[in-house]
Amino acid sequence: MLSKFRLFSILLLTCLGADAMAQEGVNSPSKNTSATDKYRVCWNADPTTKATIAWNQQSGKPGKVYFDTKDHGRDVKKYAESQKIDRVQKYDGMKNCFIRLSGLKPDTPYYFCIEDETGISRRLSFHTAPVEPKPFTFIAGGDSRNFKDVRIAANMTCEKLRPLFIAFTGDMINKDEAPEWVEWLDDWQQVISKDGHVIPIVAHRGNHERRPETIHHHFDTPMDAFFAFSIGGELFRYYTLNSEIPATGAQEAWLDRDLAAYSKKTTHLVAGYHKPMRPHVSAKKEGDNPMAWADNFYKYGVDLSIESDSHVMKRTHPLKPDADGVEGFSTSLNDPKATVYIGEGCWGAPLRAADDGKPWTLDTESFNGIDWIQVSKDDIQVKTIKITNTARIEPARTLSSFEDPKGITLWEAKGGTVLTIPADR
């Protein structure tokens, strides 16, 4: 028979062991005991102080987010801040949950977990945008709707490069139906690093997001899907435009007002949208709707325009609208008001022949690729990445590094691998 002392010792060790195992589970950052998945961080407003955390609630009541500038693993009791759900949207067979954070510190990593009735999610993180004019990178591209292997490879490339954010310029899916969105959001988890860092997405509407509410219900964008934000104080302003609704009318009036307010004090103005003004594929119709913005771009000196839809890659010379020019444009070198146009969408959609170059086209080619962009006070630099041999790319060591990692394949375009757009003086 066990003595009372020995029995007490066994019970004590058992309890201590159970506590240790429980604590180990709490501190395991990649473990997920909650009923949550399909995580994303969305930027739809000032990214220096705001962010929207989104996920799918598989079952039960929506969870609560615990967050902090310090990493506490999955121990939600140690997190300094918490916030309940702002919006729940049942859509495409999912229960999309959105928590809109505000009052965040600029240029700061934030760590967070979601706790629901079932348990605690993995520990995730994101980084807010700087308010000081320091260099940063972002990735731009669109059209991921068909080939899953390319889409995943592009997502994994983004994760390795660790940009500040991703501007996804539309056509994420093909038929805008539930099974495709479930798969797309699952594939999007590949932009999350092993240490839980989530790259924020700036979501644009494309023509394959056929329902006007789709982007709003999956990424909490404004319903009309056009908005703008600044990074680095007066360094950079980004315009998310919607080419699937009239470019004129309310959207153009808003764009004109915002450009008028920011153009004189902002170093770099950049716009992103889906349908190109002048496609570089002969089978595509001319983009007469977004072409309405060309005059606004030139009037206020928009430096860079990012387009998608045609499933080729292109770079142009600096352009100005010109009624006597080829297809409404002419080259205007050393013109501080001129705009460089890049794109046109190769994140996994079927490639097309790049057979409609213009006299003002710098280069165009057909391959799966994304644009990797660095913004600094001196210039905007663009490198175009070919989606190949993703597994060989070495991860970036720091956020917004613009050094070419080993294993990366860049487009050797006419004019050079790096496209440089000088800051206006």
* Tens digits of residue pLDDT in 369-425: 999 999 999 999 999 999 998 999 999 989 999 999 999 999 999 999 999 999 986
The token pair at 220 is 């909490």
pLDDT, position 28: 77
344: preceding bond cis by omega (within 30 degrees): yes
What is the rounded average pLDDT for all residues in the chain? Answer: 94
pLDDT in tens, 150-178: 999 999 999 999 999 999 999 999 999 99
Res. 12: pLDDT tops 50: no
pLDDT in tens, 321-374: 999 999 999 999 999 999 999 999 999 999 999 999 999 999 999 999 999 999
3-class SS of residue 329: strand
**Residue 149 gets which letter from DSSP?**
H
Give the domain 36-127 fold: Immunoglobulin-like (2.60.40)
Say what the alpha-carbon torsion angle 80, 74, 100, 233 is, to the nearest 10 degrees.
Answer: 70
% of the chain with per-residue pLDDT over 90:
92
pLDDT, position 1: 46
Task: Give this prediction's pTM.
Answer: 0.94
Tokens 């375009």 label which residue?
A: 413
Order across the sheet with 109-115: list the strands.
Answer: 81-83, 64-68, 109-115, 124-127
Distances 289 to 204, 209, 242, 243, 358 between C-alpha atoms, Å: 16, 17, 10, 7, 19
Give the domain 136-422 fold: Purple Acid Phosphatase; chain A, domain 2 (3.60.21)
pLDDT, position 27: 63
What value does the mean pLDDT take over residues 94-111? 98
% of the chain with per-residue pLDDT over 70:
93
pLDDT in tens, 252-285: 999 999 999 999 999 999 999 999 999 999 999 9
pLDDT, position 98: 98
Res. 4: pLDDT tops 60: no
Ordered by start, the domain boundaries in the chain are 36-127, 136-422
pLDDT range class, residue 13, cuts 50, 70, 90? very low
pLDDT in tens, 231-246: 999 999 999 999 999 9
